[in-house]
C-alpha cells in the first residue's frame, strides 16, 4: 500500500478499512525517516482531505518524542525547508493548523540546540510582510514557542506590532493571543507597553459587530491582568481599558457573553490590585457597584418551573443578574468592608426600602446584595446587625416566592458570616421564621428554609433553641415522610436533620428510631439515577445521627441494629465500585469516617475491605494529566485546565481532576481516623502499604489540603508502631526505619511548600512524629537535610515578618492593615511551629544540638531585635533559648550568661515574653545550681540571685494577661528556694507567704501542676510559712483545694493538679 493509498484508507468510512490503515501507519512509524519524508511529499503534492490527513499524521508523528529521537539528523534537517515552504503555500485551515503545531514542536526542540537557524527569521518575515494566512500562522507558532524564545523579545515585539497594525481582524486577534502569552511568559516586557493602544483599538473595532472577537480580546487581557497586573498599572492604558470594558457591561444591546467577559476583566483587576483600585478608582468602583446592582435588578419571574425545581449549581451559564451578585461579592472581598459599605450601603437600603412595592426587582436585588457582601463587610455590618436582620426577616412573608427565597438565603449567609453572635442574638426570631417557611407552598422555598437551618445550626449552642428542637424535627420529618414531596426538598431536609443531630448530640436520642426508619426506607429505594443523591444524603444523615447518639444506641439490637445495617450497606457500596455519576461515590468515604469513630469494635470486621479498597483507589487515582485535546474536558466541572510554557517543549496543556483531588484528601483523612480509633495491633499489617501510598502525597502538586492530610499521618503511624515497640511486639529499630522514610518526605515537602499555613502545619506534624519516637533516630544525612531546611524556613519567615511589620507601620488603610496582620500571623505561626520542632529535637535527639549552635543559633539571636520582629520574635527566641538551656547539656554552658541576660532584659516586654522568660529563669536557676561550683565552668552571672529574685517578685504583682507569667514566676521562686536557700532574700519565711498570695496559679496548666504539687506537699508537712501560725491559713487553703478538685473532676484535661496532688488533697481534707 502506497502512502497516498494509506491516507485514503484512513479517510475511509468503513471501520475495517480504517482500522487496517491505522495498524499500517503504526508499522510505518518504525521507519520514521521514510514516513516523514513521504508525508512531506504528500503535503506538497495533494489537496483537500488527503493533504489534511497527511498533515495530521505528520504532526502526531513528530510530536511523539520517542519517534523524534529515532530520526536521523539528515531527516531532521531535511524537513525544515519543506515545512517553511508549506506554511507559504498550503491554503486549507485544518492542514495549516497541523503544520503549525508540528513546526512549533520541532522548533522548541531544535532551537535549544541551534538546530533550526532559519526558523525565527522566517516567522518574523511572515509576520511583518506575509499575507493574512502567513501572519496568522506566524503568530500561532510564536505563541506556542513563547517559553523557548524569550531571548528574542524585541523581534517578537516588532512582529506583534506589525500584526496589530494589520487591516485584517483575524490577524489582529492572533496577535492579541500571542501578546497575552508573551506578556505572561517573558520577564522583560516593558517595551510591550507600546502595543496596548493597538490592542485597545482592536477591541474598539470589534464593538458592536464582532462580539465573539471582542470576547477573545477581553479574555486575553484578563489573563494578562492575572499574570502581570503591574504591567497594566504602569502602562497608562489601564483606566481607558477599564472604562471601555465598563461601557461594554453597561450596554444592554450587546449579547450577555461579551458583557460578562468585560465584567470578568474588571473584577479580575480589582481583585489583582485592590490597593490601586481603592486609591485611583473610587469613582469607578462606585459606578461599578451601581452597575452590578442594576444587573441584579434584571432578574426575571417568567419560569414556571422555578418553584418546583432545584437550583442548578452546575449551570455555568450565568445570567447578568447572577453575575451582578457575584461581582458585588468579589468587589467587597477585594476592597474590604469599610469602603464597600460606604459605596454600597445606602444604595442597597434605598432598594430594599423602595416605597414602590410593586417593583419586586428592587427588593430582590437588595436582599441578594446583602447576602453577597456580608462576608466582605463583616465588621461594618456587625454594628447594624439587628436592623439588617429584622429587615431581612420581614420579607419572609412577602407575597412573591422569589423574595421569600432571597430572604431565607440572606439569613443563611448571615448565620455563617456572623456566627456565633448571630445565633445567640436572633435564634428565636430566625428559627420561628424558618419553621414557617418549612411549610411554604413553594417547594424551592421549603428547600432553602431547610438549607438555612443547616447554616444556623453549625455554630448554635443547643441551649439556644432547645425548646424548638422537637417542633423543627417534627416539621422536617413531615417533609421527609411525605411521598408527594419533591426529592430535592427531601435531600436538603436530610441535611438539616443531620445538622441538628450533630449540634444537639444525645438530645437527638428520642428521635433516633423515627428518623432512622425513614433513612432505611430511602436507602432501600430502587437503584435508579434519580435516587442516588437522596441516598447519599440519607447515608450522610445516618452518620451524623450515629455520631450524636453514640455506640450503644446505634448498635442496639445487635445484628438487626441500624448501625449493623448501615455498615453492611457501606461494605457493599465499597466492594462494588460506584459509577462517577452516582452521588454516593462522593459521600461514602465521609460516611465511613464517622462510622469508624462511632462503631468501635463493631467496625473491625470491615477493616480489611475498607483499607484494601481505599489503598487501591488512592494508588490508581489520576489527578493530573497532559491534555492535548482542547475540547476533551470542556464540559467536565470536576476538571480544571491550565497551560504551562516548558522550555524545549513549547506550551503544554494540563488537566487537574479536582474531584479526584478531593477524594484523595478524604481517603487520607479516613486513614488518620483509622489510626486514631482502631487498635494498633490491627493497623500494624497495613502500615507498609499505607506508607507507600500516602507519603508521595505529602508533596502533592496542587492541593494544600492533601499535603496537610498526608503529613498528618506520619505521627499517627509512628505512634502506632511505637505502641507495638513498647509492648515488645516490634524491635526499637522499627522506629528508625520508619523515620528514614518519613523524614525525607517531610523535608522535601517543606522545601517545596509555598503556602505558609500549610508549611506551619507540616512542621507541626513533623514535631509530633519526632515526639512519638525514641531518642536519636535520625541518620547524619537526615539530620543535615532537616537543619538546612529549618535554616531556610527561619530566614524566609523572618524576612517576611520584618517586611510586613515595616509596611504595616506606614499603611493607613484599615482593610489592608488587617490583611497584613493576617499574613504576619501566618508567618509567626510558622516560626512558632519551627521553634517547637527545634525544642523537640533538642529534647529527644541530642545529636542535633551541636549543629543547631552552628546553623540556627545566630538566627535565633537576630530574632531578639524588637524593632524588626516585635515581641513575637523575642518570645520565640526566648522559647528556643529555654529549650537550649534545658536540653543542651554541656553545649549550653558557654552561652549561659548571654541567655540569662536576655531573660532579664525582655521579661517585662510583653505578657507572653514574661511567661517565657520566667520559665527560662526557672531552667536557669536549676542549671545554675549545677554549674556554680563546676571546675573551669563559667560560674553564675554577677548578681544572679538578687536580680532574678527581684524580677520574679515583681512579676507576682502583675494581673490580667500576665497570669501565666506569674504562674511561671511562682514556679521559679520555688526552684530558687530549693537551690539557693540561705542566700540574701531567699528563705521559706520570706518567699512562701508571698507565693501563697498568688494561689491558685493558672494560665499555664503544666506549670501550675508543678506549683500546686510543691505547695500541698508543704501543707502536708505542716510548714508554718504556708499553713500559718496555729494553722490559721488552712480555711483559705481548703477553699483553694476544693476549687481545684472540682475543676479536676469536671475538666480533667485542663486540671491544674496531678493525680498525686489530688490524692494529697483528698488525704488532707476528706
C-alpha atoms less than 13 angstroms from C-alpha of 779 in its C-beta half-sphere: 12
Q: How far is 1000 from 745, CA to CA, in rounded Å?
A: 45
**Is residue 774 pLDDT above 80, yes or no?**
no
Q: What pLDDT shows up at residue 810? A: 80
Q: How far is 742 from 718, CA to CA, in rounded Å?
A: 9
Q: What pLDDT shows up at residue 577? A: 79
Residue-wise pLDDT for 164-220, tens only, equals 999 999 999 999 999 999 998 888 888 899 999 999 999 999 998 899 999 999 999
Question: Which residues contact residue 1063 at a Cβ distance below 8 angstroms, ignoring those fewer than 6 apart?
Answer: none
Cell of 545: 445521627
Among 69-78, 278-287, 438-447, 977-986, which range has the highest average pLDDT? Answer: 438-447
Evaluate whether 259 touches 246 at the Cβ level (below 8 Å).
no
Question: Largest Cα–Cα distance of the chain, in whole Å?
Answer: 119
721: number of Cβ within 10 Å: 22
65: number of Cβ within 10 Å: 10
Q: What are phi and psi of 462, to 5 degrees?
A: -50, -35
If you average pLDDT over residues 225-246, what whole number do you get? Answer: 88
Residue 59, H or E segment: helix 48-62
Cell of 170: 483575524
Going by pLDDT thresholds of 50, 70 and 90, the confidence category of residue 43 is very high
Cell of 519: 433513612
Q: What pLDDT shows up at residue 52? A: 92
Cα 376 versus chain centre, distance: 19
947: number of Cβ within 10 Å: 16
Nearest CA-CA partner of 83 in 33, 32, 136, 119? 119
Q: What pLDDT shows up at residue 1017? A: 95
List Cα–Cα distances, 143 to 148, 180, 313, 428, 482, in angstroms: 10, 9, 35, 61, 60
Question: Which residues contact residue 178 at a Cβ distance below 8 angstroms, ignoring those fewer than 6 apart?
Answer: 139, 140, 142, 143, 146, 156, 160, 163
Q: What pLDDT shows up at residue 576? A: 85
Cell of 375: 462576608
Q: How far is 235 from 248, CA to CA, in rounded Å?
A: 21
pTM: 0.79
If you average pLDDT over residues 215-236, what whole number do you get? Answer: 88
Question: Which residues contact residue 113 at a Cβ distance below 8 angstroms, ignoring those fewer than 6 apart?
Answer: none
Cell of 994: 508571698
Residue with cell 489583582: 272
825: number of Cβ within 10 Å: 14
Residue-wise pLDDT for 353-388, tens only, equals 765 555 899 999 999 999 999 998 998 899 999 999
**Is residue 276 pLDDT above 90, yes or no?**
no
Q: How far is 466 from 469, CA to CA, in rounded Å?
A: 5
Evaluate whether 545 touches 517 at the Cβ level (below 8 Å).
no
Q: For the chain, give percent helix, strand, coil, nearest 5.
A: 75, 0, 20
Evaluate whether 305 touches 296 at the Cβ level (below 8 Å).
no
Evaluate whether 836 touches 869 at the Cβ level (below 8 Å).
no
List Cα–Cα distances, 637 to 314, 660, 706, in angstroms: 7, 12, 20
Q: How far is 481 from 515, CA to CA, in rounded Å?
A: 9
Q: How far is 790 from 848, CA to CA, in rounded Å?
A: 12
Q: What pLDDT shows up at residue 934? A: 64
Question: Which residues contact residue 1044 at a Cβ distance below 8 angstroms, ignoring those fewer than 6 apart?
Answer: 1000, 1012, 1055, 1056, 1057, 1065
Q: How far is 513 from 61, CA to CA, in rounded Å?
A: 65
Cell of 568: 453492611
Evaluate whether 232 touches 220 at the Cβ level (below 8 Å).
no
Q: What pLDDT shows up at residue 358? A: 58
* Beta strand segments in 456-545, E: none
Going by pLDDT thresholds of 50, 70 and 90, the confidence category of residue 894 is confident
Per DSSP, the three-state class of 655 is: strand
C-alpha atoms less than 13 angstroms from C-alpha of 254 in its C-beta half-sphere: 25
Q: How far is 159 from 128, CA to CA, in rounded Å?
A: 6
Going by pLDDT thresholds of 50, 70 and 90, the confidence category of residue 645 is low
Q: What pLDDT shows up at residue 642? A: 67
Cell of 364: 430582590
Q: What pLDDT shows up at residue 151? A: 87
Taking the CA atoms of the chain, what radius of gyration do you get in angstroms? 35
- Do the bridges between strand 624-626 and strand 650-657 make them parallel or antiparallel, or are there none, so unpaired? antiparallel
Q: What pLDDT shows up at residue 115? A: 82
Question: Which residues contact residue 733 at a Cβ distance below 8 angstroms, ignoring those fewer than 6 apart?
Answer: none
**Is residue 647 pLDDT above 60, yes or no?**
no
Evaluate whether 618 touches 664 at the Cβ level (below 8 Å).
yes
Q: How far is 257 from 261, CA to CA, in rounded Å?
A: 6
Evaluate whether 443 touches 491 at the Cβ level (below 8 Å).
no
Q: How far is 346 from 349, CA to CA, in rounded Å?
A: 5
Q: Is 1031 left (phi over 0), alpha (psi -120 to 50) or beta?
A: left
Residue-wise pLDDT for 673-703, tens only, equals 999 999 999 999 999 999 999 999 999 888 8
Q: What pLDDT shows up at residue 643? A: 64
Strand partners, 655: 625, 641
Q: How far is 127 from 106, CA to CA, in rounded Å?
A: 19
If you average pLDDT over residues 514-525, what whole number do you get? Answer: 96
C-alpha atoms less than 13 angstroms from C-alpha of 1 in its C-beta half-sphere: 18
Comparison of pLDDT for 408 and 797, the residue scoring more:
408
Tell me what percent of the residues of the chain surpass a pLDDT of 70: 96
Residue with cell 471601555: 244
Cα 467 versus chain centre, distance: 38
Burial of 781 (0-12, 13-18, 19+ CB in 10 A): exposed
Q: How far is 201 from 1050, CA to CA, in rounded Å?
A: 74
Evaluate whether 270 touches 277 at the Cβ level (below 8 Å).
yes
Evaluate whether 913 touches 907 at the Cβ level (below 8 Å).
yes
**Is residue 651 pLDDT above 70, yes or no?**
no
Cell of 877: 527566641
**Is residue 964 pLDDT above 80, yes or no?**
yes
Whole-number mean pLDDT of the chain? 90
Cell of 942: 554577677
Residue-wise pLDDT for 832-857, tens only, equals 999 999 999 998 888 888 888 888 88
If you average pLDDT over residues 1053-1057, what whole number do you get? Answer: 92
Q: What pLDDT shows up at residue 459? A: 85
Q: What pLDDT shows up at residue 424? A: 93
Per DSSP, the three-state class of 643 is: strand
Q: What are phi and psi of 646, to 5 degrees?
A: -110, 120
Nearest CA-CA partner of 534 in 570, 486, 500? 486
Evaluate whether 992 touches 1040 at the Cβ level (below 8 Å).
no
**Is residue 631 pLDDT above 70, yes or no?**
no
Residue-wise pLDDT for 538-577, tens only, equals 999 999 999 999 999 999 999 999 999 999 999 999 998 7
C-alpha atoms less than 13 angstroms from C-alpha of 747 in its C-beta half-sphere: 19
Amino acid at each position: 500500500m502506497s502512502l497516498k493509498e494509506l491516507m485514503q484508507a484512513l479517510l475511509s468510512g468503513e471501520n475495517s478499512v480504517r482500522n487496517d490503515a491505522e495498524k499500517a501507519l503504526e508499522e510505518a512509524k518504525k521507519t520514521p525517516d521514510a514516513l516523514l519524508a513521504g508525508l512531506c511529499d504528500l503535503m506538497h503534492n495533494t489537496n483537500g482531505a488527503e493533504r489534511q490527513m497527511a498533515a495530521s499524521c505528520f504532526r502526531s508523528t513528530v510530536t511523539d518524542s520517542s519517534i523524534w529521537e529515532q530520526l536521523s539528523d539528515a531527516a531532521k534537517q531535511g524537513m525544515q525547508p519543506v515545512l517553511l515552504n508549506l506554511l507559504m503555500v498550503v491554503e486549507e485551515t485544518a492542514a495549516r493548523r497541523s503544520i503549525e503545531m508540528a513546526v512549533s514542536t520541532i522548533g522548541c526542540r531544535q532551537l535549544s540546540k541551534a538546530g533550526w537557524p532559519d526558523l525565527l527569521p522566517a516567522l518574523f518575515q511572515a509576520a511583518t510582510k506575509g499575507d493574512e494566512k502567513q501572519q496568522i500562522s506566524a503568530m500561532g507558532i510564536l505563541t506556542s514557542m513563547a517559553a523557548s524564545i524569550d531571548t528574542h523579545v524585541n523581534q517578537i515585539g516588532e512582529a506583534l506590532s506589525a500584526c496589530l497594525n494589520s487591516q485584517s481582524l483575524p490577524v489582529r486577534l492572533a496577535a492579541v493571543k500571542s501578546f497575552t502569552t508573551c506578556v505572561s511568559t517573558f520577564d522583560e516586557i516593558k517595551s510591550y507597553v507600546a502595543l496596548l493602544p493597538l490592542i485597545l483599538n482592536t477591541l474598539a473595532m470589534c464593538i458592536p459587530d464582532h462580539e465573539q472577537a471582542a470576547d477573545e480580546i477581553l479574555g486575553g487581557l484578563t489573563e494578562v491582568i492575572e499574570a502581570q497586573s503591574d504591567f497594566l498599572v504602569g502602562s497608562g492604558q489601564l483606566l481607558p481599558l477599564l472604562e471601555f470594558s465598563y461601557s461594554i457591561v453597561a450596554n444592554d444591546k450587546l449579547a450577555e457573553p461579551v458583557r460578562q467577559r468585560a465584567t470578568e476583566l474588571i473584577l479580575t483587576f480589582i481583585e489583582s490590585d485592590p490597593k490601586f483600585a481603592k486609591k485611583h478608582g473610587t469613582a469607578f468602583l462606585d459606578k461599578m457597584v451601581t452597575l452590578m446592582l442594576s444587573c441584579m435588578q434584571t432578574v426575571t419571574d417568567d419560569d414556571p418551573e422555578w418553584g418546583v425545581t432545584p437550583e442548578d449549581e452546575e449551570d455555568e451559564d450565568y445570567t447578568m443578574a447572577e453575575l451582578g451578585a457575584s461581582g458585588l461579592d468579589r468587589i467587597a472581598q477585594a476592597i474590604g468592608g469599610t469602603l464597600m459599605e460606604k459605596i454600597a450601603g445606602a444604595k442597597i437600603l434605598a432598594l430594599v426600602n423602595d416605597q414602590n412595592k410593586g417593583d419586586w426587582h428592587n427588593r430582590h436585588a437588595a436582599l441578594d446584595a446583602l447576602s453577597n457582601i456580608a462576608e466582605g463587610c463583616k465588621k461594618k455590618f456587625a454594628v447594624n446587625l439587628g436592623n439588617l436582620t429584622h429587615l431581612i426577616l420581614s420579607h419572609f412573608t412577602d407575597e412573591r416566592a422569589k423574595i421569600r427565597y432571597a430572604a431565607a438565603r440572606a439569613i443563611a449567609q448571615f448565620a455563617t458570616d456572623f456566627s456565633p453572635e448571630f445565633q445567640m442574638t436572633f435564634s428565636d426570631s430566625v428559627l420561628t421564621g424558618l419553621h414557617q417557611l418549612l411549610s411554604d407552598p413553594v417547594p424551592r422555598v421549603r428547600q432553602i428554609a431547610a438549607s438555612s437551618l443547616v447554616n444556623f445550626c453549625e455554630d448554635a449552642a443547643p441551649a439556644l433553641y432547645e425548646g424548638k428542637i422537637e417542633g423543627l424535627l417534627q416539621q422536617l420529618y413531615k417533609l421527609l415522610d411525605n411521598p408527594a414531596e419533591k426529592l430535592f426538598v427531601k435531600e436538603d431536609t436530610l441535611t438539616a436533620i443531620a445538622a441538628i443531630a450533630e449540634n444537639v448530640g444525645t438530645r437527638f436520642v428520642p428521635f433516633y428510631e423515627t428518623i432512622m426508619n425513614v433513612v432505611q426506607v430511602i436507602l432501600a429505594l430502587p437503584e435508579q439515577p434519580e435516587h442516588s443523591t437522596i441516598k447519599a444524603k440519607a447515608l450522610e444523615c445516618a452518620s451524623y445521627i450515629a455520631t450524636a447518639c453514640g455506640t450503644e444506641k446505634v448498635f442496639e439490637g445487635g445484628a438487626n441494629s441500624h448501625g449493623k445495617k448501615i455498615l453492611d450497606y457501606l461494605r457493599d457500596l465499597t466492594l462494588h465500585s460506584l459509577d462517577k455519576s452516582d452521588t454516593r461515590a462522593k459521600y461514602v468515604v465521609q460516611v465511613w469516617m464517622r462510622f469508624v469513630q462511632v462503631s468501635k469494635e463493631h467496625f473491625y470486621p470491615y477493616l480489611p475491605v475498607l483499607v484494601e479498597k481505599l489503598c487501591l483507589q488512592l494508588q490508581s487515582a489520576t489527578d493530573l494529566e497532559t491534555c492535548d485535546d482542547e475540547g476533551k474536558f470542556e464540559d467536565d466541572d470536576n476538571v480544571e485546565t491550565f497551560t504551562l510554557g516548558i522550555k524545549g517543549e513549547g506550551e503544554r496543556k494540563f488537566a487537574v481532576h479536582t474531584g479526584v483531588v478531593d477524594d484523595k484528601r478524604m481517603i487520607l483523612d479516613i486513614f488518620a481516623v483509622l489510626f486514631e480509633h482502631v487498635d494498633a495491633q490491627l493497623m500494624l499489617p497495613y502500615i507498609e502499604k499505607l506508607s507507600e501510598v500516602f507519603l508521595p502525597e505529602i508533596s502533592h502538586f496542587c492541593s494544600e489540603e492533601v499535603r496537610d492530610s498526608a503529613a498528618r499521618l506520619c505521627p499517627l503511624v509512628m505512634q502506632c508502631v511505637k505502641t507495638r515497640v513498647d509492648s515488645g511486639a516490634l524491635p526499637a529499630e522499627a522506629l528508625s526505619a520508619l523515620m528514614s522514610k518519613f523524614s525525607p518526605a517531610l523535608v522535601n515537602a517543606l522545601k517545596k511548600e509555598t503556602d505558609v499555613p500549610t508549611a506551619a502545619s507540616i512542621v507541626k506534624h513533623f514535631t509530633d512524629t519526632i515526639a512519638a519516637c525514641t531518642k536519636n533516630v535520625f541518620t547524619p544525612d537526615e539530620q543535615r537535610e532537616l537543619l538546612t531546611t529549618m535554616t531556610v524556613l527561619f530566614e524566609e519567615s523572618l524576612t517576611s515578618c520584618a517586611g510586613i511589620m515595616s509596611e504595616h507601620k506606614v499603611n493607613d488603610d484599615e482593610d489592608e492593615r488587617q490583611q497584613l496582620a493576617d499574613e504576619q500571623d501566618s508567618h509567626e505561626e510558622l516560626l512558632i511551629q519551627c521553634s517547637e520542632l527545634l525544642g523537640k529535637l533538642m529534647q529527644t535527639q541530642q545529636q542535633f544540638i551541636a549543629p543547631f549552635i552552628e546553623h540556627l543559633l545566630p538566627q535565633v539571636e537576630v530574632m531578639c531585635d524588637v524593632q524588626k520582629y516585635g515581641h513575637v520574635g523575642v518570645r520565640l527566641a526566648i522559647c528556643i533559648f529555654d529549650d537550649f538551656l534545658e536540653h543542651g547539656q554541656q553545649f549550653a554552658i558557654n552561652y549561659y550568661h548571654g541567655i540569662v541576660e536576655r531573660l532579664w532584659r525582655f521579661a517585662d516586654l510583653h505578657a507572653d515574653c514574661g511567661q517565657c522568660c520566667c520559665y527560662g529563669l526557672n531552667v536557669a536557676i536549676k542549671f545554675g545550681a549545677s554549674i556554680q561550683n563546676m571546675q573551669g565552668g563559667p560560674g553564675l552571672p554577677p548578681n544572679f540571685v538578687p536580680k532574678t529574685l527581684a524580677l520574679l517578685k515583681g512579676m507576682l504583682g502583675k494581673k490580667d494577661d500576665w497570669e501565666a507569667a506569674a504562674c511561671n514566676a511562682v514556679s521559679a521562686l520555688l526552684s530558687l528556694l530549693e537551690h539557693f536557700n540561705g542566700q540574701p532574700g531567699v528563705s521559706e519565711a520570706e518567699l512562701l507567704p508571698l507565693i501563697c498570695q498568688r494561689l491558685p496559679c493558672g494560665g499555664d496548666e503544666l506549670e501550675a501542676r508543678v506549683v500546686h504539687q510543691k505547695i500541698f506537699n508543704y501543707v502536708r508537712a505542716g510548714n508554718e510559712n504556708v499553713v500559718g501560725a496555729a494553722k490559721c491559713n488552712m480555711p483559705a487553703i481548703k477553699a483553694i483545694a476544693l476549687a481545684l478538685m472540682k475543676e479536676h473532676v469536671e475538666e480533667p484535661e485542663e486540671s491544674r493538679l496531678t493525680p498525686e496532688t489530688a490524692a494529697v488533697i483528698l488525704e488532707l481534707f476528706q
